[in-house]
A and B are shown apart, each in its own frame.
Chain A
Amino acid sequence: MNRLIIAMIRHSRRGWWQARYSTGEVLSEWDTLAGRVRLPTGNGDSSRWEEIPKEGMIGLRLLCPNGMAGELEAPEGHRFFQLKAGGMNVGMGYTGGVAGVKRFCDAYIIGVVEDDEGNCLCRAWETREERLIEFRDNIHNMRYRNIGALNLDVQQLKV
């Protein structure tokens, strides 16, 4: 990979997905950004996973700011998903509401569904811990960070 891209990912301090297709094509998350700057810088302007082609996708990587990458593979068949887990805080009784009141992203997650029961293998870049982890879960009730059931339509999963 281009050293400049690697440096940008490192500097962005977030994870970026990258999809591989059976045609040999590679689609990176920054290629899908809505803004004019399509590079892995900062948080990036909004992109839409739900609008990228899932047909022929056979691999999904998570490129991490520590230089590591997690990759998942599967035969074609709409088995991959990706999401970010985070939220927002509303202060109660702060001294002027300044400290700690913000939006946050705890994890950048990719996954692949492994069977008809919805069991899945996932990798996640955890932003506070600054580490890449691997875990098994189920898309119908994700225990990871109490996420619960994934919306299958949004992910365009066929299971």
Chain B
Amino acid sequence: MADFTALTMEANHGTLGAPVWVIVGPTANHEVRWSDLATQKDIASAVWPAMIRPAATSIVSYTYAYTADATGNGFISTSGAVDCPAYDENNYLWARWNWDNTGTFASAPIFTAYPSGAHGAVVRNDGSLLGGKIADTGGGGYSYLKGNAFGQVDSVAAPAAAPAAAPVVGDGTVGSVSPGAGANWLANFQSLQGDNDWITAPFTPAATTADTWSIHFALFTGPNMVPALYTVVMSLKYTWT
């Protein structure tokens, strides 16, 4: 089957001007972590600090790219030379899907998130990280995890500007949304909620052609989120021949 030999998510732990892309999945021990602390560089997962549920909704400010259990830097942290900067949508070279030239997409790829690798259904308004809670995330219960995506592959032109609007906790649209085809982001971030809310690329990438697709994501929390150890997955769903 014409699947890809290499298909990864990469995070930029360099800078906006000089990106340094590191693989955060699907390789074992590579992952994305969040914290409300700026100093969580090279911290073993067993001692990763818990977060206190806030009294009001807020963004989880610090996003980390881990490449081993105790090896990781903040996104846009000059490869760890500085503490993880607080989330800013203006850091538009944030993350990307990267595939090699061995596969052929049979339809446009999809960016979403699931509670686990089992890809179980997400129940809106259940208070979980992806299910959301109406009182915090609005709508019928949007995800606390928001995503954005660029309207073209980076071989045409990588993003040269940030999404027009910062993510907010109430962002979301039921079902699929797509950025307009071309050099632009979604106008607003989308709820990433399994098969309920997701982002569909406005293109089918060229066959047997290596490329990347720029994405952006941000995590919120709030007083109505159910406390738990969340181990969700972000997924690129795609078809191949």
Interface residue ranges, A against B (CB under 8 Å): 29, 43-44, 46-50, 82-106, 142, 145-151, 154-155
Contact = CB atoms under 8 A, between A and B. Distances in A.
Nearest to A142: B107
Contacts of A29: 1
Majority-rule SS of A interface residues: mixed
A83 to B, nearest CB: 4
Nearest to A17: B1
Interface of B: 1-3, 5, 7-9, 24-34, 45-46, 48, 66, 69, 102-108, 110, 113-114, 116-119, 176, 195, 198, 200, 204, 207, 229-241
A102 B1 contact: no
Nearest to A95: B45
B64 to A, nearest CB: 10
Given A48-B2, A89-B235, A98 B29 contact: yes
B45 A151 contact: no
Nearest to B204: A151
A103 B2 contact: no
A101 B107 contact: no
Nearest to A103: B26
Given A89-B26, A92-B33, A96-B29, A83 B241 contact: yes
A17 to B, nearest CB: 9
B231 A103 contact: no
18 contacts: A49-B241, A50-B207, A83-B107, A86-B237, A88-B26, A89-B25, A89-B233, A90-B9, A90-B235, A91-B31, A91-B32, A93-B229, A97-B29, A100-B116, A101-B117, A149-B108, A151-B105, A154-B207
B114 A154 contact: no
A150 B238 contact: no
A41 B200 CA distance: 33
B102 to A, nearest CB: 6
Nearest to B11: A90
Most buried by B among A29, A105, A149, A151: A151
B26 A154 contact: no
Contact of A46 (B1, B32, B200, B238): B1
B28 A97 contact: yes
Contacts of A154: 104-106, 204, 207, 241
A105 B1 CA distance: 11
A97 to B, nearest CB: 3
A48 B234 CA distance: 28
